[in-house]
Structure 1
Amino acid sequence: MNDFFDTVRRFLLDYLPKQRCLSVNTVLSYKQTLNLFVSYMQDERDVTATKLTFSRIDRDVILGFLTWLETARKCSASTRNQRLMALRSFLEFAGQMDCTQMALYLSACNIPSKESHGRIVEFLTEPSLAALLQQPDPSKPKDLRNLVFMILMYDTAARCSELLDMKVCDLRLDAKHPIAYLHGKGRKIRTVPLLGKTVQHCKQYLHKFHPTADYHSEAPLFFTVIHGTQQKMSPDTVAAFFAKYGSMAKNVCPEVPEHIHPHMMRHTRAMHLYQSGMPMVLLAQYLGHTQIETTMIYAHADTEMKRAAIQKADAVRKTKPIPNEIWADNEEMILKLSGLR
């Protein structure tokens, strides 16, 4: 094994999970970056895996990789910046293993991040949400599963990965105040309250799909059956039924966006809570954001609240008389107000 792939192995299998104790999903993100870099070297620079060593990499190669991400793969500036940060972390580790690679790490540090323009938050209006949730047929087992998944995702504002990682024991439906435990980024666990109707849907789902499981079961809450074996439901399955129901809902409600994806449900819940008056700090905690700046995207996106505030201010302005210009025809006062006296 050459120096590059030996360092990759140590970085992914030892340094990230065992020394930095990063989550599986975070390690996977680093792995995806390095896989993309290897693909770039093979496809664009004709450097096969057997020939790829650190001597083949320099600042120009890294810049070419970042350009390739934006042009060939149509990545956004924020994704490009994320890949650059991951590559820097890897090269820093390489420099720690072999000081001769430190120059390569420093050259990567001198590559600036691109300014990322604020993204538009896509969310569903209340009529759109209602139309979407009316599409599954609860009399069909798979549709019942998908419906409960969407309802639980909206009620908890969970990420898709958080809901897929839920186990039966993560639901506390018979408690005085029913809750769900979500395992979020960085192994953080947050407790989310459940609405009464959501509890009813979850109980119906458990009765159908987990009839013999107790509340301490470690079985995946949402699963698919492949060759007679239960397996945790995949993100592709979730994306597929969201697209299916979104297309159906579009036919009955024009407000439904053209393309619906699972994360839109989290955005929708966050926007509805913000519009209902939930303080930004509490909303950040509810969503599992470590920095409130991340949550501020919902304040920027809510054009309806901006419009209402403008109309309210305009109404107040119209009720007040226009003040008299006491400086009119008073040359001395005009000179004082302008700072000339």
Structure 2
Amino acid sequence: MRLTTNEKALIGAYMERASQVPQNEKIPLFCDHTLRYLNVELKRLQRSKFTINSITSSLSLLVRYAWQVRGLGPDVFSISHCTADFIRDWLNYEITEHKISAATRNLRLSHLRCYVVFVSEFCFKACSIYLSLKQIPKMKVIQQEKTLLTEGNISSMLKAVITTEKGKRNALILLILYECAMRASELTALKVKDVINIDGKSRLNVMGKGKRQRYTPIKEETAEMLKAYIRIFHESSSPDTPLFYSIRKEKPVALTVKTVETIVNQAAELAREHDPTIPKRVHPHAFRRSKATALYQKGTPIEIVSSFIGHSSTETTKIYTTPSEEQLRKAMEKCDFPDEWKNAKANYTEDDLKKKIVACGLTP
């Protein structure tokens, strides 16, 4: 079992405190610390609301399984019930009944482990529960080829939606998703004041994962489209108004990620009539991945690509970078055969070759 630095520290603390913990230490109910974990600890760690929602879903599903399948209500189900066998049964139940993927199964397990580590701060015996959960291996995930969009696909989608005023807004959303390699959540968080122009050069102030701020430059043509959009849709807006919004109760409210997904899907469906090369399933993240891949394939160093899309590590960026055929060809040319190999002549006669073929059980 391979242990991380944090896990080694956890075991070290376990060994130091083992003799000091009273044998009658109270084992908390599973739900005793969930509220504090979700509403305080995860926010302290600056987890995004999407991550918090995902963790909430995982823990809720486990509590529901314990109650409805194993007969352990919230007033009975405790951390001590979360043995390796119990959690294996739960994960298998999720796969069988809810048809979750291997990746989702691994995520559920990871969420539970992190919560148990948090509980161990209040109940020392939870450390042993965590170590037992560590024995559960992750399922192998078959990596599927990620959807990539060409610049031609992007152009087709822009042309398909730009026919109305609202369509122009949607086209601008698609353009910024691609040009700035932006996450949908980052786009929906943009405000009017985040469009910045300094010395005639425009950029967007983007707040990424983990509250990491970055300034993303935009092309002059895109900047002009943004100015026109702001003149039409933000004539009297305050700087804190969401850049892309819908009207609810006569007030502008930021678009949701779900709405952005709908805009992308509708654009892809419309454009596919004239451009059948557009993939059947297009997600907003495909724009980000496609831009990062395009930059890399055009020779941009991976460190710059990583900084541009807001990754804290180039290791994460490598997932996005698929070498082009031209890059592979150049790599092969660098490994070309030496001239003396190319000019070398075979020492075999035709009869020798025929004998070798016959020796292999074949007919020359």
Question: Aligning the two structures, in what range does the TM-score lie when normalised by the shorter sequence?
Answer: 0.7 to 0.9
Q: Which residue of 2 aligns with 1:324?
A: 344
1:3 matched to 2:29: yes
1:207 matched to 2:228: no
Structure 1 residue 276 displacement after superposition: 1.7
1:65 matched to 2:87: no
Q: Which residue of 1 aligns with 2:54?
A: 29
- Higher share of residues assigned helix: 1
Distance, in Å, in 2 between the alignment partners of 1:229 and 1:319 is 73
Structure 1 residue 131 displacement after superposition: 0.8
1:160-239 to structure 2, matched below 5 A, reads 160-173=184-197, 175-213=199-237, 217-239=239-261
The alpha-carbon distance between structure 1 residues 143 and 47, as it changes in their structure 2 partners (threshold 3 A), is: farther
Distance, in Å, in 2 between the alignment partners of 1:73 and 1:283 is 38
Distance, in Å, in 2 between the alignment partners of 1:229 and 1:180 is 24
Q: Which residue of 1 aligns with 2:180?
A: 156
The alpha-carbon distance between structure 1 residues 59 and 150, as it changes in their structure 2 partners (threshold 3 A), is: same
Question: SS in structure 1 opposite 2:204?
Answer: strand
Distance, in Å, in 1 between the alignment partners of 2:100 and 2:209 is 22
Q: Which residue of 2 aligns with 1:13?
A: 39
Superposed CA offset, 1:259-300 (max 9, x none): 11111111121122122211111111111112212222233x
Question: SS in structure 2 opposite 1:99?
Answer: coil
1:291 matched to 2:317: no
The alpha-carbon distance between structure 1 residues 323 and 243, as it changes in their structure 2 partners (threshold 3 A), is: same
Q: Which residue of 2 aligns with 1:256?
A: 278
Q: Which runs of 5+ in 1 are unaligned?
A: 329-341
Are the aligned partners of 1:127 and 1:255 in contact in 2 as well (CA < 8 Å)?
A: no
Q: Which residue of 2 aligns with 1:268?
A: 290
Q: Which runs of 5+ in 2 are unaligned?
A: 1-27, 349-364
Are the aligned partners of 1:125 and 1:255 in contact in 2 as well (CA < 8 Å)?
A: no
Structure 1 residue 258 displacement after superposition: 0.8
What is the TM-score normalised by the length of structure 1? Answer: 0.84
Structure 1 residue 66 displacement after superposition: 2.6
Is 145-154 or 171-180 further displaced after alignment?
171-180
Question: SS in structure 1 opposite 2:253?
Answer: strand
What is the TM-score normalised by the length of structure 2? Answer: 0.79
Q: Computing the radius of gyration over CA atoms, which structure comes out larger, 1 or 2?
A: 2
Instruction: State the aligned residue count.
Output: 322
Amino-acid identity (%): 27
Superposed CA offset, 1:127-171 (max 9, x none): 21111111113433x222211111111111010001111111111
- Over the aligned positions, Cα root-mean-square deviation in angstroms equals 2.9
Superposed CA offset, 1:19-68 (max 9, x none): x4544444333223212323433454454445433344321221123334
